[in-house]
Amino acid sequence: MSGATVPLASAIHHDAAPAPHSIRPFIGIAAVLLGALISTLFTRVTSFGLADLRGAVHAGYDDGAWITTATTVGQMCVGPLAAWLALVFGTRRVLLVASVIFALVSALTPFAPNLPLLLGAEFVLGLTSGCYIPLTIAFVLQNLSPKLWPYGIAAYGLNLELSLNIPASLEGWYIDHLSWHWIFWQGTVLAVPLIACNYFGIPRTPVKWEALRGADFAGMLYLSAGFSLLYAAIDQGNRLDWLNSGTVNGLLAGGGLLVVAFVLRELTAERPWVNLGFLLQRNIALMVTILVMYRFVILSTIYVIPQYLTSVQNFRSLQVGDVLLWIAVPQFLIAPVIATILRFVDPRYVLAVGLFAIGVACILTTGLTPDWASDDFLPSQILQAFGQSAALIALVLFMVRHLKPADALTFGVLLQTARLFGGEIGTGFMATFVRIREQIASYLVGLHVQSGTGAATTRLAELTQGMLARAPSTEAAQGRAASLLGSTVRAQANVLSYIDGFTIVALAAAAMLVLTALLRPAPAG
């Protein structure tokens, strides 16, 4: 941040400095880490429980698709503003207000009688939960000595990995043992210790009223609104067929114009809100690109594997969660080890090793067949768990070593924006890529079936023979056999498309390795 806010960043750094031998800073760190966990956990659990939410408000597939979009657009909207709000009003006030509103709205949302009210509640939940992650890293760095930074960042990385990979198990357990209402009520329950940690752990700081004078409110509005519109376009793009949709075109055009207006504003304003030069530094630009691509590569576990288990094996959420737990659980052992290694090893080397492990894990998974189930993913999942943890912790730590104290809050915004946009761009691309590859594979495999090849004729005859005992006539048996053969073709086409998805992720990991090789050492001091 620049202009009037730059001199104030050091003041926040000073106000947040921990007292010697005090446990209070660690309670505050627990607060921001718990907030980051709640933010991602809520979004992911909502995604897995989307079918139940649509049914609760009697919404169709197309209308209900906006439920998760409303949440993430809210997070994107407030992300760029969260650091500035904390700079002016203090981290403690921002998080306390956000936590209380989040708890109340989470408690009331299950009683929303219709879709419009549910969308409004989801947007508010996105706004409040979106304040947590941008402030987490800044607060952790300000309240730990530099030698403990790797462990604080490791805790942050552990939080994100847990919140990405345990929601399927949670949502499945809620549906089986409680009700869909707990998709929201979990937020109310978790907000209680969050509020307590905020209140007792984060120091009270005076309001920086001088930061309000001459603040670049126009720049803030342009950036938040522009990113929100672009995010909504990407989130709905695959469902609406991208540029063939007027809605997507309108969102892209409006968001693009607002972002251009923001850039022009920051370049010409006397006291700009964001220092664009910071983003153009060689290492910073490379690391932001790597971070966006990192969000893409972890789609192999948070998107492709769940899609395969759901569409091919007909797994339910709880069963999908059992597979993803092999990413989440090892993090408790891996993250502290990675943090210790990073105290003595250049983060670039650890980043490269992590990316290489992710690539190898994806290559192992390209051996996918329709017979794969939970245990077959175990070797690749454990390797992926190590790779993701090593890459994320090393990347964030290396980025931190390029920051001055005045850049800490800006870095939190950069991290949140790259995280959300990287994940959404990756999801939109992967969903479209897998859909198109499935259609191509289904067509090509179907051609062999329709041409009456020997294998297809033999398979159809075997299926018909097996159906004769349970069918009222030969024609009915043949119809059922043809339907089963069609299901087999669809399953095989899905498997082929997911193999292509893992291949793309492996190539992305290789590209990130190239970018990592271009990184220069962090500046001294």
Average pLDDT over residues 192-199: 89
Average pLDDT over residues 167-188: 87
**CA dist., res. 400 & res. 408, Å (int):** 8
Query: Mean pLDDT across the chain, nearest whole number?
Result: 83
Burial per residue of 497-521, b for 16 or more beta-carbon CB atoms within 10 angstroms, e otherwise: bbbbbbebbbebbebbbebbeebee
Average pLDDT over residues 103-116: 92
Chain-centroid distance, C-alpha 200: 29
Cβ proximity of 296 and 429 under 8 Å:
yes
The pLDDT tens digits for 349-371 are 999 999 999 999 999 999 888 88
The pLDDT tens digits for 38-67 are 888 888 888 888 888 888 888 888 888 899
What pLDDT is recorded for position 410? Answer: 65
pTM score of the predicted model:
0.84
Amino acid at 14: H
Chain-centroid distance, C-alpha 464: 46
Domains belonging to the chain, first-starting first, are 23-208 (1.20.1250.20), 276-525 (1.20.1250.20)
Is residue 101 very low, low, confident or very high in pLDDT (cuts 50, 70, 90)?
A: very high
Chain-centroid distance, C-alpha 487: 32
What pLDDT is recorded for position 2? Answer: 46
The pLDDT tens digits for 158-168 are 877 777 778 88
What pLDDT is recorded for position 22? Answer: 67
**Alpha carbon distance, N-terminus to C-terminus of the chain:** 20
Amino acid at 396: V
- Closest listed residue to residue 441, CA positions, set 387, 499, 502, 485: 499
**CA dist., res. 8 & res. 414, Å (int):** 19
